[in-house]
Structure 1
Amino acid sequence: MDDEVERAWRAAEREPGVVVLDGFHALKHALRFGGDVRRVLTSDRAALAALAEELAADVGPALDELAVELPEPVLRSLVPRLHPTGVIAQVRRPSAGANREALARRPRRAPVVLLENPRNLGNVGAVIRLAAGFGATGVVTTGELDPWHPTVLRGSAGLHFATAVERLSLPELPDGPLYVLDPEGADIREVPFPDDALLAFGTERHGVSAELRARADQLVAVPMRPGVSSFNLATSVGMGLFHWMAGRPPGAGPDGR
């Protein structure tokens, strides 16, 4: 039985669109937000059930149906680093078409976060986690980094499934007014962000490209103490999304309603 489960896991690794989640919280979010979870492996079904009862009772029935128990050494052979909760899962990511449709849908009730050519996998994961928490429409990246990389999924705690995450080129960006975070922009405190904004962030060292800067409807700057080089990317995104939310009517939820 163990060999059969292991072979099925290895075969699924070669399927396009299948991604790996490691850890209970990533799996919890995938289940909670409608992820197509294909298989769940754990070193201790009873411990997994107890964790779900304590932290996420809403996903307990799905875990009870999906979870298969395997010896811990077998699990460790299937992933580079086993999460302390001893659970891994294979999930089919949403199709690029579905993500593009979600990003393009109008009217848009919450901004899209644009990361131009990001470099750090952990930072991208943290941004996706923030975007999901604030109820952003989605996170778009450009460049070579894969926003569905396992390290990004770990950093987002599986919250890719709570917002649209896709890699696009600049000509493919969804419609909407483009607000680019740039040191030479207007003070963010004087610039309200509309619900359908694209909020663009460049790299910490180089900022945004000249091409993206030229396309901006508005350059916006976060005031910063002289001598400090830059804010962390995820921190900047968090400030931008909080600024958007702070400008919404009292009582409006993070999902834009």
Structure 2
Amino acid sequence: MSHKSPFEHRARKRFGQNFLHDAGVINRIIRSIAPKTGDHLVEIGPGQGALTRDLVDSGAQLDVVELDQDLVPILLAQFALKDNFALHQGDALRFDFSSLQRDGEKLRIIGNLPYNISTPLMFHLLSYQSLIEDMHFMLQKEVVDRLAAGPGDNHYGRLGIMVQYYCQVDFLFPVGSGAFNPAPKVESAIVRLRPHTELPHPARDVSLLQQVVRTAFTQRRKTLRNALKTLIDADSIDALGIDSGTRPERVSLAQFVAISDRLAERASSGDEE
């Protein structure tokens, strides 16, 4: 009978685990975050603690949220005696991040996010945007490209538009697959999301904005007039100063908000298209 060391852990496919081990990349991430005493950090999916030690050593309060029960003893063995460390075993997609806030300070979120949960987790966190100062994520590079893309870019679409509605997005730097064990088949990148203190283009009805954007990009090669014909007619789009003959990938966030606001106005007044 073999006895498994508490410090041995195989990455699990079902959790999408790829553990960061490259010291140069770790240092660059820590420099980007620049944690300091007085910060309240929240690390999602700390894994085996590659970033955790530097985050704890910064003197900041650090809460970590880890789903994999087998990683809990590994993390506790390293950090349980640190006064500024607290571990929460659970699913970040269901976690109440407001429960971590104390004395009104804002949270700084950090995470190496598995591809399969990255989008729903970002939107879960954005529901707490008023509590969050910034977020630093390691994501699949293609996802970061989509988050940071602007009108006319190949990667521009629903994800980038809706995240940029809530946040300033900064593509920081790419990370090669060799920085992980096991090495993933895709490239990764670090992104910084900073929730806007005031939304630059507030929509009258965010759910309606989401519907407009989703409908527009269902067939992104169509013109705006054809993509949105079930919601709004071409003359109404043109009346907003937006060319209904353009493709959705060239329409800005502000323009999508203008379209959704027009629909919201009509809904509130009882007018039909």
TM-score (norm 2): 0.30
TM-score (norm 1): 0.31
Higher RCO (CA-CA < 8 Å; seq separation 6+): 1
